[in-house]
């Protein structure tokens, strides 16, 4: 059985990409990252990918006259690589329904909170953790979900909680949440690759 082909979309340092790469190298994850696409030319994730022998390209929105043409360039690159699952690993651009439909049921995203809390438009990066602390939440965490045509609204695959401590800052909290992200994103990819996910309405059932 051939390895599931991934396309990973990134915007920053690529620590979740590294978690995927490390899981592949350790044998925990039997998939192949065919291409990494960054929305920024200077993203460190590009270097991470290339150091592991993975094709990595920047496709930046500002290069295109419209969002539709920007997304079409990404769609074409992913299709050229015969990608079977698109992984949004710290990708900070909101994708249109057109992109989502091009890979319907085959896009997963990692978000640094326990959805449906602290998610949706404007909730990304440190803004999420700042909002958690300002609200006074006692528990936060990370979520892997299927991407749909909303923002952080698709069916949830995995979640893991992280305690919020009294002396937390957004930066300190983000590090602990990131550790959890690095656990559950590769695990969600494994479950997808092994065809162990059944989506029924909003619920995702994990088969033994």
3-state secondary structure string across 75-97: HHHHHHCCCCEEEECCCCCCCCH
Percent of the chain with pLDDT strictly greater than 70 = 100
CATH number at residue 24: 3.40.50.170
pLDDT in tens, 31-55: 999 999 999 999 999 999 999 999 9
Q: What is the pTM of this model?
A: 0.95
Q: Kindly report the CA angle at 182 between 181 and 185, in degrees rounded to 5?
A: 70
Q: Which two tokens mark 171?
A: 């930066």
Closest by CA position to 81, among listed 145, 25, 34:
34
Q: Which two tokens mark 88?
A: 């949004």
Closest by CA position to 48, among listed 66, 62, 32, 36:
36
pLDDT in tens, 77-92: 999 999 999 999 999 9
Q: What are the catalytic residues?
A: 111
Residue listed under structure tokens 């300002």: 134
Question: Residues 6 or more apart from 38 whose CB is under 8 A from it?
Answer: 9, 10, 11, 45, 46, 56, 57, 58, 59
User: How many CB atoms neighbour CB 161 within 10 A?
Assistant: 13
Q: Which two tokens mark 58?
A: 């920047």
User: How many CB atoms neighbour CB 196 within 10 A?
Assistant: 12
Structurally, how many domains does the chain consist of? Answer: 1
The answer to whether 64 and 46 have CB atoms below 8 angstroms apart is no
Give the structural domain span for 159: 4-206
pLDDT in tens, 103-156: 999 999 999 999 999 999 999 999 999 999 999 999 999 999 999 999 999 999
């Amino acid at each position: 059985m051939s390895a599931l082909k991934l396309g990973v979309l990134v915007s920053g340092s690529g620590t979740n990409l590294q978690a995927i790469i490390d899981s592949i190298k350790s044998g925990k994850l039997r998939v192949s990252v065919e291409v990494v696409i960054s929305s920024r030319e200077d993203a460190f994730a590009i270097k991470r990918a290339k150091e592991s022998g993975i094709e990595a390209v920047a496709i930046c929105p500002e290069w295109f006259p419209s969002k539709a043409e920007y997304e079409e360039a990404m769609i074409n690159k992913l299709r050229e690589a015969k990608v079977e699952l698109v992984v949004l690993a710290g990708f900070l651009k909101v994708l249109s329904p057109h992109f989502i439909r091009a890979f319907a049921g085959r896009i997963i995203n990692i978000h640094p909170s326990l959805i449906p809390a602290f998610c949706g438009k404007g909730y990304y990066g440190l803004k999420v953790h700042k909002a958690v602390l300002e609200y006074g939440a006692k528990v936060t965490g990370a979520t892997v979900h299927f991407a749909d045509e909303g923002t952080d609204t698709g069916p949830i695959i995995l979640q893991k909680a992280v305690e919020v401590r009294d002396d937390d800052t957004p930066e300190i909290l983000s590090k602990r949440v990131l550790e959890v992200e690095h656990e559950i994103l590769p695990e969600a990819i494994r479950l997808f690759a092994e065809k162990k996910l059944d989506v029924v309405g909003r619920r995702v059932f994990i088969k033994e």
